[in-house]
Amino acid sequence: MVRELTHFIGGKRTPGTSGLFADVYDPNTGTVQAQVPLAGRAETEAAIADAEEAQRGWADWNPQRRARVLLKFLQLVESERDSLARLLSAEHGKTVADAHGDLQRGLDVVEFAAGIPHLLKGEFTDSAGTGIDVHSLRAPLGVVAGITPFNFPAMIPLWKAAPAIACGNSFVLKPSERDPSVPLRLAELFVEAGLPPGVLNVVNGGKEAVDTLLDDPRVQALGFVGSTPIAAHVYATAAARGKRAQCFGGAKNHMIVMPDADLDQAVDALIGAGYGSAGERCMAISVAVPVGEETADALVARLKERIAELRIGRSDDPDADFGPLVSRDALDRVRRYVDIGVTEGAELVVDGRDFTLPGHEGGFFAGASLFDRVSPRMRIYREEIFGPVLCVVRAADYEEALRLPSEHPYGNGVALFTRDGDTARDFTRRVNTGMVGINVPIPVPVAYHTFGGWKRSGFGDLNQHGPDSVRFYTRTKTVTSRWPSGVKEGASFTIPTMG
């Protein structure tokens, strides 16, 4: 039976009125499991209006009272954690265990945002001038919005929404139409936790909904995660309309393997970070860079052996290492890129194009592919594949290995595996990317630090979660005050110096 999904506006599930729908597939079988309404301009504007009305009262709640809502939300999510993970897995295709991780990394940011009474504290200077004090405070922006991708349907909506509402804003979420059920349920749980109706609205939709969020002057800021071309467009359009924007795009994350690295550890890291979640992670390792021919030969041989042992299965198979891709289009895209790599002359060590799961021939399954002797001129190196494809680019020495991620158009994340502290320190300081892992394959920072890439991976001055999220979702107001002491100084026509 095909489920009918809704929007979530004004604290309740709201049927779509545009007449437009998108299919939500079961990636394991390729069949339609639900239909989600796609909001037009009128529905999106109604959600914005509702959010604007709700924000006024919500901003008057003191920060500690707002934090209690977040703490209650954490309790409610915990009570149905497994059902949420299974729902996420069923729509996305990642394993249930991986879906639990998706959810937990989002909850980590909710926990951070629950510290908002401390995070919103301003600065104070006593006696900045004679009888004059100066203090600052952080004020919410108003209505803000988030446009989030399919690959983390719990984590990234929570990364966006939790700090925003903690700061006193209202939030309009436009999740991916490919796997919208978990964002809808999370919104319901926020209301059950005591969030006033309208403070968090969820509008499903496509380009028209996004354009409305960009155009409407009531929306003060937008966060986006997705492909680089759309990230660049959203950022430029938002900026042209005077809105704040933090937009994150694609990635081509490298992992450099030095000759002194623990090769077993490096192979374990590459197998998990390259093929976990079928490669549908913005922090997936998609390029391995062994330094020296001996290191490269040993690494490729071990990777080939380990790939043969991978178990690809249904997303609800507890023994599966990874499940299907999210859609038929995603599967076709991966196969096209493997074709391109072969045409370009890369050595296809393992070919995953023809993998099928018995009994699930209609599912969106791709096997793991491994290319060796990839060069930086090839498209499979320059472009994001977003699938279970790992490229090996051999570097003659450390300096060449350092140049590869530093000169790549994307600058999201990078990892270095070595036993040498001097090499690690030099690499950390010199590499031109936003996030660095040392013997850590997926360097996603903890919630109280900040997440964000450089170059074509990130657009905007402030990153996601951590202190940057509070800065992004608030304005600083600085107050200079003096209370008359009975002394009349007369008019002054020079700028005050506070001397």
Q: Is residue 486's pLDDT more than 70?
A: no
Is 3-249+457-479 CATH 3.40.605.10? yes
Q: How confident is the model at residue 79 (pLDDT cuts 50, 70, 90)?
A: very high
pLDDT at residue 440 in the model:
97
For the segment 242-287, what is each residue's pLDDT rounded down to a tens digit? Answer: 999 999 999 999 999 999 999 999 999 999 999 999 999 999 999 9
**Residues 4 and 35 sit within 8 Å (Cβ to Cβ):** yes
Q: Is residue 105's pLDDT more than 70?
A: yes
Average pLDDT over residues 177-200: 98
Number of residues in the chain = 499
Mean pLDDT of the chain: 96
Closest residue by Cα to residue 235 from 483, 456, 487: 456
Q: Is residue 498's pLDDT more than 70?
A: no
The residues assigned a catalytic role are: 282
The domain segmentation of the chain, as residue ranges, is: 3-249+457-479, 253-438
Model confidence, pTM: 0.96
As a whole number of angstroms, the distance between CA 489 and CA 470 comes to 41
pLDDT at residue 221 in the model:
98
Task: Name the more confident of 489 and 38.
Answer: 38
As a whole number of angstroms, the distance between CA 366 and CA 363 comes to 9
As a whole number of angstroms, the distance between CA 407 and CA 368 comes to 27
Please give the helix or strand (H or E) that residue 432 lies within, else none. Answer: none
For the segment 396-455, what is each residue's pLDDT rounded down to a tens digit? Answer: 999 999 999 999 999 999 999 999 999 999 999 999 999 999 999 999 999 999 999 999
Closest residue by Cα to residue 37 from 246, 181, 249, 233: 181
As a whole number of angstroms, the distance between CA 211 and CA 204 comes to 13
**pLDDT-above-70 percentage for the chain:** 99
Q: Is residue 494's pLDDT more than 90?
A: no
Give the end-to-end CA distance of the chain in Å, rounded to a whole number: 76
pLDDT at residue 488 in the model:
67
Place of tokens 């006024």: 56
For the segment 107-162, what is each residue's pLDDT rounded down to a tens digit? Answer: 999 999 999 999 999 999 999 988 899 999 999 999 999 999 999 999 999 999 99
For the segment 455-476, what is each residue's pLDDT rounded down to a tens digit? Answer: 999 999 999 999 999 999 999 9
Average pLDDT over residues 345-357: 97
**Residues 279 and 385 sit within 8 Å (Cβ to Cβ):** yes
As a whole number of angstroms, the distance between CA 26 and CA 237 comes to 34
Residues 6+ apart with CB under 8 A from 75: 193
pLDDT at residue 487 in the model:
58
Q: How confident is the model at residue 493 (pLDDT cuts 50, 70, 90)?
A: confident
Q: Domain 253-438 is classified in which CATH homologous superfamily?
A: Aldehyde Dehydrogenase; Chain A, domain 2 (3.40.309.10)
Task: Name the more confident of 495 and 102.
Answer: 102
pLDDT at residue 499 in the model:
61
Q: Is residue 224's pLDDT more than 90?
A: yes
For the segment 281-338, what is each residue's pLDDT rounded down to a tens digit? Answer: 999 999 999 999 999 999 999 999 999 999 999 999 999 999 999 999 999 999 999 9
Average pLDDT over residues 199-212: 98
